[in-house]
Structure 1
């Protein structure tokens, strides 16, 4: 028998003064009430209630046990209520993992708006570009660019990562704008990654359904997109970066999109969360907010809204 259920039956029998009254209140038979009491007496090795056909008397041990049972049942009810409340209303710590560039430039304003909307939630954001196992490392939500492999994970599609070519007006005034991807070979390009000896850097474009590689060169390499974006804004070269990341700079005119007729192959982005049981409200509200702020387009290309405008 379930110990908590038996405790609840015992408390009801003591409160109402008879097995019959407890049975009526709980919707079970008097014989079942007796079985629950016997089960508890066997567990504690003592008599809790002296019973006759006409009355019952609680023993000293039974009274002490009764008081403890009431406390335990009250705590159990409070625990269930808290869990239920957290499933209905966002509350508690939410652990989020995301790639560094997306997390710094696009996710950060979304998170601050989320915190404003849900004051009972705390968010811990970890940014790293390595492959993360959310279940192994304890993340509630993981934003992943690329594949969604991983058993036990639910996946919600977000706006794809499409890389766009851009430069500052000051750079274009000095060097002109490339008209085709091949023109980039004559421009100073800002290259994401680390310089690998004499290995050339290639940017990939799609034209008329076919992929074309363009070998580019430049004097600035960095594995931190913030370095490259700052250099691009200050007019030091042509950059290739995510449409989602560059949105504010493009909107403000600090950068100008180039080669708009040429696209780069989009990379899918998803929000992943554990499928174990029913997800809590904090997870679902966060994932739903991401899908609203960074919605995918049917053709697979980005259509992300301004993250700071989350509703």
Structure 2
């Protein structure tokens, strides 16, 4: 069987379907119509004489033969793509569509106000920021990278730490005037607390206090449970109770006196922010540019923490507060 362009094109379409999980998403990534993707798969099946996908009205699943073809051809397709990028010089051009799985808190409180600057800097870049509660499968979901709080997930993603942010225990001054100021971590059980929903466990995030190497964990009990950062901050500043928050992005509330830190000697906990992306030898310029822009935004926060260097990217082996 001689190799021809149609065969290579068909295998490329098959890889896109396998990685995105649907004809629609594959079509979007390839610049085709869903019907064009379907026809390309049919031509491939006719060309090699076997069915590569089991199709239903809702999903497309690789057959055993299709999976073997995808697993064998996938690395070669990546190599061809990387070689073409390097040869064309596009590795240094920030352009095209960048899809980012973005943490809602980071997007709203830190990134949103700087987006006009990013788009002006890179006029050939199209940006899609999709807020998700979890990382998920970046490749299958069609994302170029993710920006998430918390330890990196197990898997093959490259994880680059952008920042360690403090976890603060705060309340509105008027709440503290009415109810008193907790002097020890154990005192918070006698106060109203605003709990934050953990989508992974479907329970509230635990309350933990750190001082040097000492840790105290307090059961997450309270009458108010929220899953939105704005609601948590708004209710806390209104005097609904005590909350545990990250200090990143709330500097204006602290400096204006809307929120007051309590139990300061028990605030040694740090929560990391990571950029996560698939492992490839040649990182796309648009991914590098977005990560560099995030680091530029976070530079004042890094300076305030006295941190001079960032951890280099690392391969993962496999969130707490908002």
TM-score (norm 1): 0.61
TM-aligned CA distance change 1:267 to 1:255, over 3 Å: same
Of residues 164, 171, 178 in structure 2, which corresponds to 1:174?
178
- Partner Cα separation in structure 2 for residue 164 and residue 139 of structure 1: 32
Q: Deviations over 1:136-192 (max 9, x none)?
A: 2221121132124332x3321111243211112222232232222122122211111
TM-aligned CA distance change 1:273 to 1:131, over 3 Å: closer
Query: What is the DSSP-based 3-state SS (H/G/I as helix, E as strand, rest coil) of the residue aligned with 1:131?
Result: coil
Partner of 1:111: 115
Does 2:131 match 1:127?
A: yes
Partner of 2:270: 266
Does 2:295 match 1:287?
A: no
- Partner Cα separation in structure 1 for residue 265 and residue 175 of structure 2: 20
- Partner Cα separation in structure 1 for residue 192 and residue 239 of structure 2: 10
User: Do the aligned residues in 2 keep the contact of 1:148 with 1:270 (CA within 8 Å)?
Assistant: no
Does 2:154 match 1:149?
A: yes
Partner of 1:205: 209
TM-aligned CA distance change 1:111 to 1:150, over 3 Å: farther
Q: Deviations over 1:110-158 (max 9, x none)?
A: 434322322221210111112322222221121132124332x332111
TM-score (norm 2): 0.59
Shift of 1:265: 3.4
Partner of 1:237: 241
- Partner Cα separation in structure 1 for residue 249 and residue 195 of structure 2: 16
- Partner Cα separation in structure 1 for residue 289 and residue 257 of structure 2: 33
Q: Deviations over 1:199-256 (max 9, x none)?
A: 9984111134121112454321112222111101112211111121433322332212
Query: What is the DSSP-based 3-state SS (H/G/I as helix, E as strand, rest coil) of the residue aligned with 1:138?
Result: coil
| Structure 1 gaps, min length 5 | 4-79, 304-311
CA-based RMSD: 3.3
TM-aligned CA distance change 1:92 to 1:201, over 3 Å: closer
Query: What is the DSSP-based 3-state SS (H/G/I as helix, E as strand, rest coil) of the residue aligned with 2:168?
Result: strand
Partner of 2:256: 252
Shift of 1:101: 2.5
Query: What is the DSSP-based 3-state SS (H/G/I as helix, E as strand, rest coil) of the residue aligned with 1:158?
Result: strand
TM-aligned CA distance change 1:97 to 1:83, over 3 Å: farther
Does 2:227 match 1:223?
A: yes
Shift of 1:109: 2.8
| Structure 2 gaps, min length 5 | 5-83, 309-322
- Partner Cα separation in structure 2 for residue 269 and residue 162 of structure 1: 11
Of residues 105, 109, 123 in structure 2, which corresponds to 1:101?
105
